[in-house]
Amino acid sequence: HSRWPGLIAAYRDRLAGAADWEPVTLFEGGTPLVPAPRLSQLTGCEVYLKVEGANPTGSFKDRGMTMAMTDAKYRGQQAVLCASTGNTSASAAAYATRAGMTCAVLIPQGKIAMGKLAQAVMLGAKVIQVEGNFDDCLELARKVTSDFPSIGLVNSVNPARIEGQKTASFEICDVLGRAPDVHALPVGNAGNITAYWRGYREYRADGVTETLPRMLGVQAAGAAPLVNGAPVSHPETIATAIRIGAPASWNGAVAAKEESGGAFRAATDEEILHAYRLVAAEEGVFVEPASAASVAGVLAAHAEGWLEPGQTVVCTVTGNGLKDPDTALLGMPEVQAIQVDPVAVAARLELA
């Protein structure tokens, strides 16, 4: 029983450029594929959650960041920059620290979850708030890194990011012994759905698996450019991680959907919050709101008859619930503390 070596070491032969790398790693990847009995019961399918919040900085971004930061190291870069709705910045900050590099992050002012901001600050990133949304931040990051080529861009427009993130598909197939029938995931900038689809295709092309899943990409209704077929200039959603109106990997997402016979769906904030609470209260898995979009999408797809009974369905839950405590506590009534007294506990529990 040896310990998980991190995803570059685990899948080195399948990662472009990584053959001789000494990785910048926090031992990311190897995340649990957790059976979801309640969702299985609700849908008549065999549903699993790919719990990406179990990565070192609490989101799937670490898969891409170990690759992007190792690549940056071998290119001799001293500094990296990203635009972020929060998770990319937390991950970039952590991996830059491991690589001994400077990290700067551009974030939409007032629109990132508190846990993510705390991470970026603690991990030593130069945090720059921008009067604009994620799309403005990404455009700005592209311009800065093009004017100052010594600074590496570590958004998912960096090909090493997508390459690393595809390993989640490998892990899922390795555990199931086959590809799932349906794979659902939240879609913002669309790098992750592009990466998963690449991973599934590569395993199939090499004969590791025999089939491909239908890809279900779920966007927040107020930020659903791929569903609408046009960019959204003022994206809005409670799921701040996917508050994105002009996805950089637009073509990758469309290819994943079309080649797989999949679909894009929009989930309203109400549907996202319902799924968010359901996964926590009934599956015991606390994810951040954006992550619950995949689950909301699966429930809606089931209601429409899009899923066939008995199919194997994997939902990627992309980030840890601790990232966004404010949304978790939204609308919670303030309850008075009790005396240090067993009778008071029993009374509160209505046992007496």
Exposure letters 23-54 (e unless 16+ CB within 10 A, then b)? bbbbbbbebebbebeebbebbebbbbbbbbbb
- Measured from the CB atom, is 46 or 291 closer to ligand F0G? 291
Applying CB under 6 A, which of residues 192, 209, 237, 312 lies at the interface with ligand F0G?
192
- Measured from the CB atom, is 62 or 288 closer to ligand F0G? 288
Q: Is 87 in the site for ligand F0G (CB under 6 A)?
A: yes
CB of 289 to ligand F0G, least distance (A): 8
Contacting range for ligand F0G; rule: CB under 6 A; set: 142-150, 284-292, 303-311, 326-334? 284-292
Residue with the two structure tokens 């609700």: 42
Q: Is 319 in the site for ligand F0G (CB under 6 A)?
A: yes
- Measured from the CB atom, is 88 or 97 closer to ligand F0G? 88
CA 9, 11, 17, 19 torsion-angle sign: positive
Exposure letters 92-120 (e unless 16+ CB within 10 A, then b)? bbbbbbbbebbbbbbbbeebbbebbbebb
Record the tokens describing residue 159, joined without a space. 């090909």
Contacting range for ligand F0G; rule: CB under 6 A; set: 168-176, 189-197, 230-238, 275-283? 189-197
Distance CA 49, CA 303 (A): 19
Q: Is 321 in the site for ligand F0G (CB under 6 A)?
A: no
**Which residues touch 67 (CB under 8 Å, ≥6 apart)?**
8, 15, 18, 160, 161, 163, 164
Count CB atoms within 10 A of the CB of residue 310: 10
Q: Is 125 in the site for ligand F0G (CB under 6 A)?
A: no
Q: Is 269 in the site for ligand F0G (CB under 6 A)?
A: no
- Characterise 30 by phi-psi region: left (phi > 0), alpha (psi -120 to 50), beta (else): left
- Measured from the CB atom, is 25 or 59 closer to ligand F0G? 59
Q: Is 318 in the site for ligand F0G (CB under 6 A)?
A: yes
Q: Is 320 in the site for ligand F0G (CB under 6 A)?
A: no
Region 146-165 residues binding ligand F0G, contact defined as CB under 6 A? 156
Q: Which residues bind ligand F0G (CB under 6 A)?
A: 59, 61, 84-88, 156, 186-192, 241-242, 288, 290-291, 318-319
